[in-house]
Amino acid sequence: MIIDTTEVQDINYFSGLESFKEVYGILWILVPILILVLGITISVLAIVWLEREISAGIQQRIGPEYAGPFGILQALADGTKLLFKENLIPSRGDIRLFSIGPSISVISILISYSVIPFGYNFVLSDFNIGVFLWIAISSIAPIGLLMSGYGSNNKYSFLGGLRAAAQSISYEIPLTLCVLSISLLSNSLSTVDIVDAQSKYGFWGWNLWRQPIGFIVFLISSLAECERLPFDLPEAEEELVAGYQTEYSGIRFGLFYVASYLNLLISSLFVTVLYLGGSNISIPYIFVSEFFEINKTYGVFGTTIDLFITLAKTYFFLFVSIITRWSLPRLRMDQLLNLGWKFLLPISLGNLLLTTSSQLFSL
């Protein structure tokens, strides 16, 4: 049997083309993920700079001003410094737990960004259980903190890890009940459907007006989940040196630092999505689109406007969180647990009961 040389070349050409298509398909899947990670990184740097500037203004002092214009590159300079610092490991600690803990905290929070709708049809993955996926994945982060505290072989670190686990459990339940109330109002657990349900009546269709109690409970619980003042008991400097971060240095300490701001950003994004209509706004948006003769559904301009609106609402709550940190004193541990179990939990249960009753009577 004689095989023509041109036929062999054609076969090799088509097999190479199929391989190129597979590689192209894989790269095309990775591009949105890389864009999202890049956007998150820039947002975290912006949040760090904003917090330093706002805290400097509150305390009437000069904030960062030398690294770049207005000190905007200070966070990048700090991250670069941590990247090249030596990573110290406790000699008698559990090296595996000590090394894995920071990575678990960061990765579990990063995955949560995949269900955030930044605009119309502008979401990485629209799951039917989007909000509960965020709650389930964010519950893994305290495990990383507990592993870090235990692996450090330090009583202050271990106490900080235990406090982080206790605080997360205490405030995860009211937060979940508030999310369940929103899901009942929207008849869906998808973040995209929740945003669409609030777009029917514009500004007055936001869940903020239908769930004011749930909004307050969700805001307090999200601050506690982020371990922000007045709820930063796990790393209380005056009591536990630095909590579960005591033995960490270099890039591992930087991962904990990044994780706290990632958690703050995702919490503010979920406040925007669940209670403030996401990318919806009360101004006559249609007139803006018609003026530029660009379709809202498929146009780049429409997506950019949606993204801007979402980030504007998000950064407003970031501003509130930063002001809260530099205005209120830290609670005691017993006060923190009493607030979660004796006040927020009964209030969120009552809010869920009222929401369920109203939905049943409206059928």
| Integer Cα distance of 269 and 117 in angstroms | 9
Is there a contact between 276 and 177 (Cβ–Cβ < 8 Å)?
no
| Integer Cα distance of 358 and 363 in angstroms | 9
| Integer Cα distance of 135 and 267 in angstroms | 11
Residue written as token pair 């805290």:
55
The answer on pLDDT for 282 being more than 70 is no
- Residue ranges of domains in the chain: 1-84, 93-362
| Integer Cα distance of 206 and 197 in angstroms | 9
Write out pLDDT tens, residues 21-56.
666 667 767 777 788 888 888 888 889 889 888 888
**Once rounded to an integer, what is the mean pLDDT over residues 240-261?**
83
Predicted TM-score of the model (pTM): 0.85
Q: What pLDDT shows up at residue 171? A: 92
Please state, as a whole number, how many other Cβ atoms lie within 10 Å of the Cβ of residue 22. Answer: 10
Write out pLDDT tens, residues 60-97.
888 888 887 888 888 888 888 888 888 888 888 888 88
Structure tokens at 252: 């591992």
N-terminal to C-terminal alpha carbon distance within the chain: 76
